[in-house]
Amino acid sequence: MRKILGMAALLCAAVLAGCSGGGEGGQAAAGEDAITVGFSQVGAESEWRTANTRSVKEALVAPDFTLRFSDAQQKQENQIKALRSFIAQGVDVIAFSPVVETGWDTVLREAKAANIPVVLTDRAVNVSDDALYATLIGSDFVEEGRRAARWVIEDSQGKDGPIRIVELQGTVGSAPANDRMRGFKEVIDGDSRFEIVRSQSGDFTRARGKEVMEAFLKAEGDGIDVLFAHNDDMAIGAIQAIEEAGRKPGTDIRIVSIDGVRGAFEAMKAGKLNATVECNPLLGPQLADLIREVHAGREVPKRVMVEEGVFTQDQADAELPNRKY
CB of 196 to ligand GYE, least distance (A): 19
Answer for which of 101, 167, 259, 308 binds ligand GYE (CB under 6 A) is: 259
Which ranges constitute the DSSP H helices of the chain? 2-14, 47-59, 76-89, 105-113, 141-155, 175-188, 206-220, 232-244, 262-269, 284-295, 313-319
Confirm if 108 and 134 have CB atoms less than 8 A apart.
no
Is 208 a residue that touches ligand GYE (CB under 6 A)? no
Answer for which of 37, 38, 117, 122 binds ligand GYE (CB under 6 A) is: 122
CB of 48 to ligand GYE, least distance (A): 4
40 to 114, 217, 256: CA distances (angstroms): 18, 37, 30
Is 238 a residue that touches ligand GYE (CB under 6 A)? no
Is 46 a residue that touches ligand GYE (CB under 6 A)? yes
Confirm if 252 and 217 have CB atoms less than 8 A apart.
no
Answer for which of 41, 67, 123, 313 binds ligand GYE (CB under 6 A) is: 123
CB of 245 to ligand GYE, least distance (A): 24
Confirm if 79 and 103 have CB atoms less than 8 A apart.
no
Q: Point out which span in 9-17, 42-50, 157-165, 243-251 binds ligand GYE (CB under 6 A).
A: 42-50
Question: How long is the chain?
Answer: 325
| Residue 57 or 247 having the CB closest to ligand GYE | 57
Beta strands in 29-72 (DSSP E): 35-41, 65-71
CB of 19 to ligand GYE, least distance (A): 32
Please state whether beta strands 35-41 and 93-96 pair in parallel, antiparallel, or not at all (unpaired): parallel
Answer for which of 34, 37, 45, 209 binds ligand GYE (CB under 6 A) is: 45
| Residue 123 or 272 having the CB closest to ligand GYE | 123
* Count of C-beta atoms within a 10 Å radius of residue 147: 24
Q: Point out which span in 21-29, 41-49, 62-70, 221-229 binds ligand GYE (CB under 6 A).
A: 41-49
Residue 95 carries which side chain, given as an amino acid letter?
Answer: A
* Residues of the shown chain interacting with ligand GYE in the complex, contacts defined by CB under 6 A: 45-46, 48-49, 122-123, 176, 204, 231, 233, 258-259, 279
